[in-house]
Structure formats: structure tokens, C-alpha cells
Structure 1
Amino acid sequence: MNALAFSSSPRSNANSKALLHSFACGLQAAGGSLETVDAQGCTLKPCRGCLRCNLIKRCAIRDDGWPEFSARILDADVLVFAAPIYFHHVPGPLKMILDRFRSFMQVRITEQGLLHTPWQEWRKHFVLLLTMGAPSDEDARPVVELFEYMTGVLGPSNRLSVVAATKLALSGQITMDAAQLRHAYGKLGLDPDRAEEDCARNQGYLKRAYELGNSVVKR
């Protein structure tokens, strides 16, 4: 079982990176392997909407490393996307990578709507590890809906799992203990008396990410 992860936060001590670390620990404990790509440092070019992929069955952009990059995507059993929610969606560098997934399929316009035909069969487990400052995971709904759509059009054998961690505004907040969280809440204008409860919830997110990493290998 091999996994390819895309880490997209610009923060060095990002909450989404902590979730990804827990996921990786769980996956590796079960015997899986994981490669991580830093989306922020990625040199891929954006999709230019030329639609040539509909004709040549691959992306027409060849001078940015995409041929090798796309081969790694196709070879992976599990695709992991670790992202903070910035203005209700993933950071731009990750969205740019997702746009290039267009070249994995033919898209035809019909009177009834768009018809998607992948160039090859996909049987992958997609994993979303999302963090956000909002107290409700509804803030991540546009991202989850995008991935529900993507996994569907790429093939019925794909699966999607989501861990969406909320109320995380500061770098490294998900790993703070109750005392650190109480201090942080004072600065953020949040109720310090919720610190212990929220600390336990944050640990629960990390545990869920670990267990998810473990389970994708054992399935």
C-alpha cells in the first residue's frame, strides 16, 4: 500500500501538517509507505484550458514535470490532501494541482450535461485532512463537495474519507495542551473555560487521523 500526500499549508507549524503526521504514523505502523509533496513549493504550471487532453489522452504541458508527477499520482493506492481552509476553500497551490487532474479524463458536453470518461480505471482511496478556524465544519463543505464530485467522475471504485478539524486559528493549535489553549483563547477573545474540552477534541482529531492512516492499509 503506497500513499501520496499533498501538504498545502504555507505555515511551518500548520495544524493540517500535524493531522498529516498522525495519518502517516498510523499508515506506517500498519506497513504502508507515504511520500509527501509540498504544494507550496511545487513548480507545476496551471492548467491553461487548451482541452488538448481530450484528444491526446494526457496533459499537453510537458515542460514542468507533470509527466513524472502524474505517474506518481496514478501509481498511488491512496491520495491524501492536507489543507487549511482559507476563505472557504483550499490554498491556491493545491487547487492548481487539482485543476491538472482534468487531463486524467475526457470531458464531453452533451445536452444532458458533462460526460466524464477516465482514461484508465481508478481504484483509489482519497483522504481529506482539513483544518479551519470556523467552529463548524460547514466552512469546509465546498471542498468536500468538490472531492465527492471528483472521486465520483474518476470512477465508482474510488472512496473518500474526511477528517475536518474546526476552531483552529493559530499555528500548532491542534497540538496545544489545555494550559496553552487557555492562554491562546484569551488572545483570540474565546472562552478560556472551553480550553480543556477543546483540547480533548483536538486530540480526538489527531487520533482519528492516525486510525484512518492505519485502516487504509488494512482494508
Structure 2
Amino acid sequence: MQFSSPLCRGRLVRRYKRFLADVIHQDNPLTLHCPNTGRMTGCAGPDWPVYFSTSDNPKRKYAHTWELTENPEGQLICVNTTRANQLVAEALAQGWIPELAGYPRVRAEVRYGDEGSRIDFLLSGGERPDCYVEVKSVTLLEQDGRGYFPDTLSERAQKHVRELMACARTGQRAVMLFCVLHTGIDRVSPARHLDPAYGRLIDEALSAGVECLAWGADIGPEGMRLARALPFTP
């Protein structure tokens, strides 16, 4: 996935009101849209370098979108959560994820489940059962290269695990795909210390036949792509 043009670089001043961030770009103050509803733990330190895109849509109140952060270790983090599904869509189209390759039909945002959810991708066709793929963006790095999801207690994330378990129990394939958008993360685990209920649900899901995959992305100001499978450790 290439950005429409190389990202511009600035310096973070602060994030506020959840969806806004002030930066300094070429000695000038600038307000960015922040497309991330999470806590962004470890992704937004004062004076950290940030990279942003610019839209030519005249109807936008804020033309610039915060895309990447560079932490003091020089690691790049994608804070735009919409990019995870875009990267997975590209990987599915190109057949880069072997476990999910070979399905003739890929649909996005399909309604399913008893709790009123939308699955990120529904893969179908051929002789295999339909495959329900839920994508989760992983950016929380705490120590020794291990990434965690979620970055806080998340009832929504818990619901998605329950929905996948229900699919698996009916004989469909159910996959939780952790899309790692932090170049310092080399393996993924559920964040039991932040959301114990989520950790317990992941254990139940694995026993029910849900597959948990983790893939890391190459990240740069010119673009990103899913590049490598990473270990998932329950």
C-alpha cells in the first residue's frame, strides 16, 4: 500500500479531544486529524517525530491526517487504525497470507453473529468452509519485542471473540488476524494484564477452533505492506 504522496514530517506537541493533535511542521503550528479512538499507549510522546498525509478534499475541516509516529528508539508506529484493514485487504488480494489464500471471493464488512457485528472480511468459494476474518491493529509494545492487544479493557474486542467462537462451533473457519503496526514488535500476546476477560475468551476461542494469526508490517513514509508472519503466544 503506497501513500498517495510521501508523508510530511512534523514534531508532536500534544494530542487532545481524542481526534486532534497539534504538531510543529517547518516551524509552523498545524492541527492534524487523529484517526485513532484508543489510548495510544507508547505511540504519542511529546516532541516525537510524526508523519502525516494531506487531503485535497475542500470539505474537510482538517486537511492533514496523522499516520505514523517515530519513537525514541527509531521504531515506526502506524496510528491510523483504518490502515490495518487496508493492508489486510491488499494481502488477501495478493495471496500473501498462506493460511488465507485461495478463496475466490472476498467481501468486507459483512453482517453476522447474534450480537450484531460486522466481520472485517468474509472469504468464500471453493470446497472449503467460509472463513470469517476479524482484524485487530496491534501497536502496544511493553517489553522485549512483545506486542499486546487490546491496549485497555475492551468489551467490543470481547464481543468479537465470542462471535468468532460461535462461527467456529458451526463448522465455519474463524480467524483472528492481529495486524502489527509497530516495527518494534516481533511477537503478539493477548493483554491479560489489561483485559483479563479478553485473555480468558482467547483461551476459549482457541479451544473452540478459532485460529489466531499475527502478521507484521513494513512501515515507512512512502507506504506500508504486510510482510511477515509473527509468533502468537496465548
Query: Relative contact order (C-alpha < 8 Å, sep 6+): which is higher?
Result: 1
TM tier, smaller: 0.3 to 0.5
TM-score norm. by structure 2 comes to 0.37
In terms of fraction of residues, the more strand-rich structure is: 2
Report the TM-score when normalising by structure 1. 0.39
